[in-house]
Structure 1
Amino acid sequence: MRNRSFGFLAFSALSLGAVGIVPSACNTTGTPSYRSAYEACVASVPKPEIQVVSGNGATLQAGLVAGDADAADAVMRAAAVAEMKRAVDNAKYNALVSMRCSALSKGGDAYDSNGGSGAPVPAEDPGSPTNVSGTNNQVGGVDEADFVKNDGHYIYTATGSALHIVEAWPATSMREVGKVSLEGTPLKLFVAGDRALVYSSVQQQQPARGSRSMPSGGSSACTYGYGCDFSGDGTATTLSLFDITDRAHPKLLRAIKSSASLIAARRIGNAVHTVLGQRAFVPSYRLSPMGYAPTSEADVERAFAALKVENEKDMASLSMKDQLPTLDTGGGVGAITQLLQSTVPDGVAFTTVLSLDIANDSAPLNSVTVLSRAGAVYASAKALYMAVPHERGGYYGWFDDSAGLDEVSTVHKFAIGDGVLTTEYRASGTVKGRVLNQFSMDEKDDHLRIATTTGHLPSPTAHNTLSVLGQEGPALKVSGQIDDIAKGEDIRSVRFDGDRGFMVTFKKTDPLYAFDLSNPRAPVTMGELKIPGFSTYMHVMDQNHLLTIGYDANDHGDFAFFDGVLLQIFDVSNPKAPTLVHKTKIGTRGSSSEALSDHLAFNYFLPKGALALPMTICEGGGDGSYGTDMTFSGLMVYDVSLDRGFSLRGTVAHPNAEIGKGYNNGGCYNWWTNASSEVKRSIFMDDMVYSVSSSRIKANNLQTLAADVAEVSIR
């Protein structure tokens, strides 16, 4: 792959052509999705033309535009027109497929989009604790926003419609001492000393009837990209900074209102860096010609060509100036004016990195806004990276120097740190494939290591790549790479640890790969281990061991059904020959845990050798069939040791144990990326464990987990 150096340029209208959306097979762990005759017919239909973006071999330097609304308007209008053309071309492509292949689509093999059997889905001491668990952050010293925080005495939650402050120690007298109502829906928060910063989602005025947002929205809580994207939910965001010196009476110091959605946030010391995304709305246009009744494929071509011309004429006077992201810091609403434009067409969307000082409510803000969709976010102590996916034939443009590739990601680097004013754009580059989540990226010695997947199951051409990027001026360039890892499989988890990297891929079995990354120019595959199932999160237990959570799998030759939740310990002391030393399986197909797709729910507490996990256990069913009986929902606590493996210490039921049979069996039919447990988080304080849901906090002693010590409502 050639290394293309590109960055952000001053606004100028881009010549963007039409790119259609080519339907792809549903990504599944289960039965094959192709029907040969129909697929062969679809393959015979000419795909929409792909317009590439030419770099002409030049090094494209980064530039900055401050407040040029007219230039921004031209760029956004050009992007809106280009997306209209791509959408119309896609509609034409689907019309041609329907005309040529519809007769073949009525037969063929049955396809279970859930990869399953097609089962129906039913509608103490009053002093301070000695040891306290914190947020399960990816990088030491880089705090991640979450809906619950604790400081060893108080538990803080942003849930319901308020900031709740619960005096949690001693547990026997646990009580809510402070509550502040918030505008909108609380999402996440940071707590540092006597300051709390709360993020809330606020519904904003909808666009005029007939308008459309492109691309479609995602989820503000996307943490595992296998079942969601990192685009935000389309709402506005309010950042509320509180003085909590008096926990009973929090005092609002500052409210910052952004028209963009929360994507991710990190705190380094007192500096908080927030990534916000906003999609622009464009007027509605027609995707089907008026009076459309074609009798031939030539009729289809003529009708849709005319439709593009008509739509573009209607959009010629389109004004997009009011689509710029806005920021209200208390002195009135103003448009963000520090703007950077990518040379790569990234849609009618903006991404902002906003930095503030949590300890100083009068300190200035610093922001950098990019004309680009958002992507997966990773942050070290000094840099923040965002990986934005592109797919050949997808919704956005392509690259003239990515010949032979089907997927790439644009990677943008921003300098951050423990000072607000240090935030600035640094460099950009491209890398083969797409990332799964933040753990697919890691920085060491100013090099970004990034693991990506190209293709989707069940395609035999799917494969994975591990690349190392180094900064050269305004460009991120590939210095070393291992390609074609695990052909026919995709990535389910990644973890980097110093000079080592670990990757789990899956189709039928779980290959755990170990890599030597000590030389950024020559990464090396050291060894691999194949076992049933797959891990979705890997935790560095110590220098020689990985503690993982994932799913078991039942092999069926060409595919495998995911099964119960699997906990495993791997010995990686010899990376050339990793070994599985302990495992335990929980429940059957349909059992789930928040920790499977959100590392913030995974709580390994080394001082007690304990692992706390939100869990829903389903029993029954059969090979490929979901369990039909939910037998537990709540928090499970395991003793974990290298000698004895996993031993269940006890459980904390949510709702209460006596309700028991009140569990909703419908939660057993969720797809594997969608957990159904009421419990979302846990906290250890010495011998106490606190289980946290969106409506209650329960305290239980590790010696007698079945008996609740205290419970507080946080509705």
Structure 2
Amino acid sequence: MVIKRAGAVIALIALTVTSFMQASIAGAQSANAFNDVPTTYDYYSAVGYLKDLQVVEGYDDGTFKPENTINRAEFTKIALLASGYEPEGGNCFPDVTDQWFAPYVCKAKSLGLLSGYPDGDFKPERPINFVEAGKIVSNGLKLGLDEAYSDEWFQKYVMALEESQAIPTSVDTFDQYINRGEMAEMMWRIKTQQKEETNYYEDLSRTTEAQQMHTISSCSVLQDKFEDALAYNGYYYRDALMVEEAAMDTTASAPTVEKSAENEAVLTGGGSTDGNYSTTNVQVEGVDEADIVKTDGEYIYIVKGSTIRVVRAYPAAGMVEMDAIEFDDDGFSPSDMYVDGNKLIVLGQSYYSYPYPVLRTDAKIMPYPYYGGSISKVFVFDITDKSNIKEFRTLEFEGSYTQSRKVDDMVYMVLSRPGFYAYDTIENVDEILPRYKDTGDDTAKPLVGCTDVKYVPAFESADYLIVAGIPVNEASGEISKEVVLGSAGNIYSSRENMYVAATEWNWDYETSSESTNVYKFALDKENVEFQGKGKVPGTILNQFSMDENDSYFRIATTKGNSWDGTSTNNVYVLDENMDMTGKLEGIAPGESIYSTRFIGDRLYMVTFKKIDPFFVIDMSDPKGPSVLGKLKIPGYSDYLHPYDENHIIGFGKDTVMPTEQEEIDWNQNFEWYQGIKIAMFDVTDVENPKQMFTEIIGDRGTDSPLLYDHKALLFDKEKNLFAFPVTVAELSDEIKNDPNASGSEYGSPVFQGAYVYGIDLVNGFNLKAKITHYDETEIAEKAGYYWYGDKDIERVLYIGKFLYTVSKGMVMANDTANDFKEVNSVEVGGIDDNYYYIME
């Protein structure tokens, strides 16, 4: 039977709370309160006061653990007794029945001192945050509440604590989890009416969480951090059996490079492209992004299944597949790669699972005794001789590979690894630390020590966020790394700093909401350094929701849901310390962000629900971003690409109105998306942006990877050229000619390949070519089906005058100087999945 957030876990915590009595201040200040509370500790007097009053006894080993968080049940008991009430009652919340804390919680609920969460639970084992504690204390000790303070549900409670000078200076934000020392300080100040230095509501009212970074002081403290996070996030299993200790062996054998025997030819006389070849479409100039296809101007490298295929592409007439790179680890899946001179860097991961080691012997409820995860791997190959590619360096990291960036010859890899927090004692440091292996290592070793792990006090996470910097041209170069308690999502990187964003779903007494945590890391070849964490309301769409400019970090978010009309879109500016400098909130209420692009002092934003508002936002003043102009047009853009400083290209979908009957039936304000829409926006007059040109491809069902992956776009302004993969769907003539047809009708796929366009500011978009890897027989066989086959074109690039289209099954070269006529093609070996779905 599964029990969520079970209260029995709380019984394991050794804090004993006795009756709360008044005492003199002098008698409260014990010389040696606990062996881990020195006289230099900021809240020494408060802890001693509670001990002298016999309110707390501490732990069996004589410690108080003042830096540990305190859960909601413990805090409620202390506050109730401090208020002079007797505990009574039970079964007042679904998760508060007959446990030891039930009489205290239920009595406090009956008195109106506290309430539950929106889901009905009390969550007794959850660490209590400052505003939750403030409500209980203010109500229980009958502090004067001013109902005029109503901006937030908690404002009146915090203001009452401010009036009593009872906000410890170590409390920085409203949602910070208070620790045991801060709990003692709050109680001491209120009960003794001590007037000490205090924080104020205004100090805590910043929506960012740019707090000072802390470092874990010991392995036992790190273990405690994970246990706190477990109590906050954990799911528990009743009657789970104890398991024997298992060897934590994640060390796979070192992979080797195996050569295919299909093609042993080594061509000569390759000619020169003079550096005239395309690179991956990236967000920031000078910051490369890993992709499934890369070129060095002569060879094309392709991720296919569990292999890397290598094709000598230039000159096009002699195109041939070379030896493939295969991996000994059958479980390894390459995700993407980089090419840097004579080095090929492949990133990916393997998966594993194994039993937990022995859990706490006195635990009545424990985590399910199996866990698994990922081993992320980095292979660096020497590709000087393409007919004899050699392994140069191999690295393995515990954790899931999220994303990466490359700056010069450094690859910065972002990983997320769950913390293993169920151990009774720590016998080996690598039991709770992320580990790694380098070339030649027989066993894995800790990536960092316990005291190297960083954290931000107001945020408890059960995961490690890891950023590792790898020098790709050094066979044994030192890895620069940073390990933080946190989680990973989308990333943005400049050449100097990397920002890792992760969504946090917030629950408090009155409301539920979402926010985005942003972790900042300074990048240097010798060192990766955690700079701090910011926090903003809402969630981001993707990496283009973030940007850095002149040391300021800018981020665009959507808060709430468009389907129930509660959404708003917002822009926030944070300084180099991750403190909020400026904000613009309430953009396009009821809609959601579909695309954004920061370019210099401007932000271009597309929101959508029924019609596409294209916003131009002035970001020149970090303290006051403002809307300069907007344009409302049918359709929306999923990706915005700069043409020049005054013109933006949008790639997205066209839309049509629903029928009158559909509007009645659905009772919604919406439109049906249709085929792909390309639009050129003129923002020369920022107050009056214009749509200059548009191009519509296909009908509903037409799609392109470009709409969710910018790396699928080939764009070259100097050549007046862009191209991208597309699957085109078309409606039947019968449906097209029916004036009453619904916009919800899907067309049947009729083409998969690449569309190639010319572009300029006079003629707009000019379709130059349609290129497919399927022959006429295959097209006929696939008609009416989803394609998703080996020959679906995924990337387009150029080398010299030749345009290359790349699928998992083929590389084709077309001559841009001769009406894009096919010059040559080569079948690509290896195995990849084919999926075909009938369109109903």
TM-score where L is the length of structure 2: 0.64
Q: Deviations over 1:412-437 (max 9, x none)?
A: 11001xx4213111121211211111
Residue 198 (str. 1) matches residue 346 (str. 2) = yes
1:373-388 to structure 2, matched below 5 A, reads 373-388=487-502
The equivalent residue for 2:623 is: 521
Structure 2 residue identity aligned to 1:326: R
Where does structure 2 lack aligned partners over 5 or more consecutive residues? Answer: 1-64, 74-92, 94-115, 131-169, 173-198, 200-209, 239-268, 358-365, 664-668, 736-740, 831-840
Taking a change above 3 Å as real, the CA distance of residues 615 and 282 of structure 1, as seen in their structure-2 partners, is farther
Please name the residue that 2:722 is paired with: 611
- Counterpart CA distance in 2 for 1:345 and 1:508 is 38
Secondary structure at the counterpart of residue 607 of structure 1:
coil
Aligned to 1:632: 751
Q: Which has the higher strand share?
A: 1
Partner in structure 2 of residue 311 of structure 1: none
Cα distance in 2 between the residues matched to 1:365 and 1:642: 47
Measured in 2, the distance between the counterparts of 1:16 and 1:164 equals 54
Q: How does 1:246-261 map to 2 (within 5 A)?
A: 246-261=385-400
Matched, 1:467 2:572: yes
Matches within 5 A, 1:40-439: 47-49=120-122, 53-54=129-130, 56-57=171-172, 60-65=211-216, 68-84=218-234, 126-128=271-273, 131-182=276-327, 183=329, 184-207=332-355, 234-280=373-419, 322-330=431-439, 331=441, 332-337=443-448, 338-393=452-507, 406-416=513-523, 419-439=524-544
- The 1:130/1:349 distance shift into structure 2, 3 A limit, reads closer
1:423 counterpart letter in structure 2:
V
For residue 352 of structure 1, report the CA deviation from its aligned partner.
0.4
Alpha carbons of structure 1 residues 687 and 378: separation in structure 2 relative to 1, 3 Å: same
- Alignment counterpart, residue 713 of structure 1, candidates 810, 813, 828: 828
* Distance 1:507-1:62 versus aligned 2 partners, 3 A rule: same
Give 1:317 deviation, angstroms. Answer: 9.0
Aligned equivalent of 1:544: 646
The structure, 1 or 2, with the larger RCO (C-alpha pairs under 8 Å, 6+ apart) is 1
CA contact (8 A) 1:156 1:166 kept: yes
Amino acid at match of 2:385: D
Counterpart contact for 1:211–1:282, Cα < 8 Å: no
User: Partner of 1:652 in structure 2?
Assistant: 771
Measure, in 2, the Cα distance between the counterparts of 1:450 and 1:707.
44
1:447 alignment counterpart: 552
- For the residue of structure 2 that corresponds to 1:505, the secondary structure is strand
- Mapping of residues 465-544 of structure 1, within 5 Å: 465-472=570-577, 476-544=578-646
Q: Which whole-Å deviations, capped at 9, do the CAs of 1:249-308 have from their partners, x for residues lacking one?
A: 11111110112111111111111111011235788xxxxxxxxxxxxxxxxxxxxxxxxx
Summarize the Cα distance change of 1:707–1:560 in structure 2 as closer, same or farther, 3 Å threshold. Answer: same
**How far is 1:632 from its partner?**
0.3
State the distance in 1 between where 2:613 and 2:236 align. Answer: 38
Answer with 1 or 2: which has the greater Rg.
2
For 2:337 and 2:352, locate their aligned partners in 1 and report how far apart those are by CA, in whole Å.
Answer: 21
TM-aligned CA distance change 1:45 to 1:347, over 3 Å: closer
SS of corresponding position for 2:214:
coil
Q: Distance in 2 between matches of 1:213 and 1:280?
A: 15
Aligned length: 582
Instruction: Confirm or deny that 1:14 pairs with 2:69.
Output: yes
Corresponding residue of 2:686: 575
**2: CA distance between counterparts of 1:341 and 1:16?**
19
State the one-letter code of the partner of 2:69. Answer: L
8 Å CA contact retained: 1:77, 1:318: no
Is contact 2:628–2:687 with CA below 8 Å preserved after alignment? yes
Go from structure 1 to structure 2 and tell me whether the alpha carbon gap of 1:213 and 1:453 turns closer, same or farther (over 3 Å shift).
Answer: farther
RMSD value over aligned CA atoms? Answer: 3.4
CA distance in 2, matches of 1:342, 1:656: 58
Q: Deviations over 1:86-126 (max 9, x none)?
A: 999xxxxxxxxxxxxxxxxxxxxxxxxxxxxxxxxxxx994
Q: Deviations over 1:623-677 (max 9, x none)?
A: 3334242100111111122111112111111333441123374538x9xxxx999
Which runs of 5 or more residues in structure 1 are unaligned? 1-9, 21-42, 89-123, 217-232, 284-314
Change (3 A) 1:369 1:585: same
1:586 equivalent in alignment to 2:684: no
Instruction: After TM superposition, give the deviation of residue 74 of structure 1 in Å.
Output: 2.0
State the Cα distance separating 1:190 from its structure 2 match: 1.2
SS in 2 for 1:254: strand
- Letter paired with 1:198: V
Letter in 2 for 1:567: I
Looking at structure 1, the residues matched to 774 and 368 of structure 2 have their Cα atoms a distance apart, in angstroms, of 41
**SS of 1:659 mapped into structure 2:** helix
| Cα distance in 1 for residues equivalent to 2:221 and 2:551 | 34
CA 1:323–1:712 in 2, change beyond 3 Å: closer, same or farther? Answer: farther
Give the partner amino acid of 1:656.
Answer: D
Q: Distance in 2 between matches of 1:128 and 1:11?
A: 66
Contact map agreement 1:619 1:629 (CA 8 A) in 2: yes
The 8 Å contact of residues 355 and 365 in structure 1, kept in 2 or not, is answered as yes
- Asked if the contact 2:793–2:805 (Cα under 8 Å) also holds between the matched residues in 1, the reply is yes
Segment drifting more, 259-268 vs 340-349: 340-349
- SS in structure 2 of the partner of residue 205 of structure 1: strand
What is the alpha-carbon distance in structure 2 between the residues aligned to residue 11 and residue 420 of structure 1? 38
Instruction: Report if aligned partners of 1:196, 1:241 keep a CA contact under 8 Å in 2.
Output: yes
> Deviation at 1:16?
5.5
Q: Mean Cα displacement is larger for which, 368-377 or 555-564?
A: 555-564
CA contact (8 A) 1:179 1:248 kept: no
Q: Cα distance, 1:699 vs. partner?
A: 1.7
Distance 1:515 1:659 in 2: 48
Query: Residues 578 and 345 of structure 1: is their aligned pair in 2 closer, same or farther, counting only changes over 3 Å?
Result: same
Distance in 2 (alpha carbons) for counterparts of 1:44 and 1:281: 28
Q: Note closer, same or farther for the CA distance 1:582–1:87 as it changes in structure 2 (3 Å cut).
A: farther
Q: 1:207 to 1:632 in 2, by over 3 A?
A: farther
> Partner of 1:456: helix, strand, or coil?
coil
Q: Secondary structure at the match of 2:233?
A: helix
In the alignment, the residues of structure 2 paired with residue 74 and residue 151 of structure 1 have an alpha-carbon distance, to the nearest angstrom, of 49
Stretches (4+) displaced over 6 A: 85-88, 208-214, 315-321
Report the alpha carbon displacement of residue 684 of structure 1 after superposing the two structures with TM. 1.4
Question: What SS is found at the alignment partner of 2:579?
Answer: strand
Per-residue CA deviations over 1:194-220 (Å, capped at 9, x if unaligned) read 111111221223556997699x9xxxx
SS at match of 2:224: helix
Contact between 1:11 and 1:341, CA under 8 Å: does it hold in 2?
A: no
CA 1:361 to 1:549, structure 2 compared with 1: closer, same or farther past 3 Å?
Answer: same
**Counterpart of 1:575 in 2: which secondary structure?**
coil
Contact 1:174 1:712 in 2 (8 A): no
How far apart, CA to CA, are the structure 1 residues paired with 2:634 and 2:790? 24
Mapped to 2, the partners of 1:129 and 1:710 lie a distance apart of 23
Contact 2:212 2:456 in 1 (8 A): no
Q: 1:679 to 1:342 in 2, by over 3 A?
A: farther
SS at match of 2:576: strand
